[in-house]
Structure 1
Amino acid sequence: MDIKLKDFEGPLDLLLHLVSKYEVDIYDVPIVEIIEQYLAYIATLKAMRLEIASEYMVMASQLMLIKSQKLLPTVVENLPDEEDLEQELLSQIEEYRKFKELSEELGKQHDKRAQFYSKPKQELIFEETTLAHDKTIMDLFLTFSKVMASRQETLMQQHTVVERDDYRIEDMMEDLLYRLGGQQKLCLQEIFETCQQKNEMITLFLATLELIKLQQVDVKQSENFGKIYLALPKENKTEKV
């Protein structure tokens, strides 16, 4: 089973996605929290043995430097070069945001102009579905990154245990559907926390993505950074009654 996640357009695109969730001015975001979420995302990609572009790693090293400067106590006054690192990063994100908004506006104008030509109805529906699907999957992936980062220390302490390598995505899918058959919804974070091994967590995550892809489960999140819940679609619930 081949599951592909759509990457961000670059490290600044990932940072802008994280910053925008706080719904405040870019210069007012908690920079340390943003850095930790970025590093958790990169660490999860490594754990899943996915290819990481070098530009993401370069940005990760810069963010680690900024984070260390923010956490260490100030010993020497007047270090303008070091203080400018954070402001320079925020300025880059702000500039990228402006260019992205301009690009999106040009895209809208292009779509408006394209209405003068006939297009197959199926193509329009496919594009709408892809946009909604990508956004849901990426939010889900970032949540999984946080869980992996929080449990990393516990999992590393189990390095002397021989891990099972026979976890199957199909089995995980059946298990999730079985649990949902007896409950209205399942908290995804709580399910991940019951996993004892890293391979088990990764397989469970891929099983969740496949169920979403097949539209066998719905994903719900009431607020930004809130808990994510899995539930059976209304059609499936109706069939079981």
Structure 2
Amino acid sequence: MEYKVKIDSFEGPLDLLLHLIQQLEIDIYDIPAAEITNQYLAYVNTMQQLELDVASEYLVMAATLIAMKSRSLLPDHSSEEDDYIEEEDPRDELARRLIEYKKYKEAAGRLHELEEERTKLYSRPPADQLFSSNAEGPLNVSIFDMLGAFQKMTRRKKLAVPPKATVRREELSVEKRMNVLKEKLAASKEPIRFDDLFDSSERNELVVSFLAILELMKQNEIIVSQKGNFADLYVTVGGNET
């Protein structure tokens, strides 16, 4: 059984790298090749396990990072050869791309804020967004935060590298799971921890639950909030339910 979903909020590999750099508090001018490569590959692997539509540009960046990591592990012979020509550190080029991307992203964010201010002058509904910024927590939860939370949850369930899946005859429906999750959230007086929304340890059921949560966020029917970096995610009914 396959579950194919295309997530429009993936803004590209540079967006993922910026997320990792900010989360790990890494100096953008001194990127540790091994650590950032391992983290990046873990996210891409999670996307593939969830059978999300991973664009080829993510895989191209993965190959670039692997090459960069391999180069960093090679011994330095620059001092042994008089005629050695120093090559540019590939991390410098990556840092330049990230800085340029960050500038455009911040400018786009500012333009979006101005657009939202402008729309308040008219009586029209807000544009549909995958992840609403109406959560009460101090941090906005991104798709990468969701993937990171899913990684941690599967590791706790010892499913980070799942065994061969057993074929099951029972049909798993994202729509049905959405209804179950909405009922569970509506019945709770307190926000529910993200991990507690996953009742099963079966990989297929975990994937369906995760996709159901993403779809509910897309429809603005739930709010996912986080108190700080690396903190647990909490889910409440919101948006259309209010």
**TM-score class, shorter:** 0.5 to 0.7
Contact 1:40 1:145 in 2 (8 A): no
Counterpart position of 1:50: 52
Matches within 5 A, 1:104-143: 107=111, 120-122=122-124, 125-127=125-127, 130=129, 133=132, 136-143=141-148
| Change in 2 beyond 3 A, CA 1:163/1:63 | farther
Matches within 5 A, 1:207-222: 207-222=212-227
Counterpart position of 1:96: 101
Per-residue CA deviations over 1:188-224 (Å, capped at 9, x if unaligned) read 13544x5423221210011112333444432121002
Structure 1 residue 85, shift from structure 2 partner? 2.3
Counterpart position of 1:8: 10
| Change in 2 beyond 3 A, CA 1:119/1:184 | closer
Q: Does 1:176 pair with 2:192?
A: no
Counterpart position of 1:201: 206
Provide the alpha-carbon RMSD of the alignment.
4.4
Identity of aligned residues (%): 32
Distance 1:234 1:51 in 2: 26
Amino acid at match of 1:62: T
Distance 1:57 1:133 in 2: 28
Match of 1:187 among 182, 193, 202: 193
Amino acid at match of 1:186: I
Per-residue CA deviations over 1:34-89 (Å, capped at 9, x if unaligned) read 4334223322332233333322211111112333455x4x64443954x8122332
| Change in 2 beyond 3 A, CA 1:65/1:108 | same
Counterpart position of 2:37: 35
Per-residue CA deviations over 1:125-148 (Å, capped at 9, x if unaligned) read 514x63852864524433255347
Give the TM-score, by structure 2 length: 0.68
More helix by share: 1
Contact 2:220 2:240 in 1 (8 A): no
Distance 2:230 2:129 in 1: 22
Amino acid at match of 1:97: K
Give the TM-score, by structure 1 length: 0.68
Q: How many residues align?
A: 227
Contact 2:5 2:53 in 1 (8 A): no
Counterpart position of 2:78: 78
Contact 1:155 1:198 in 2 (8 A): no
Distance 2:144 2:89 in 1: 31
Counterpart position of 1:230: 235
Indicate the larger mover: 216-225 or 146-155: 146-155
Unaligned runs of 5+ in 2: 80-85, 134-139
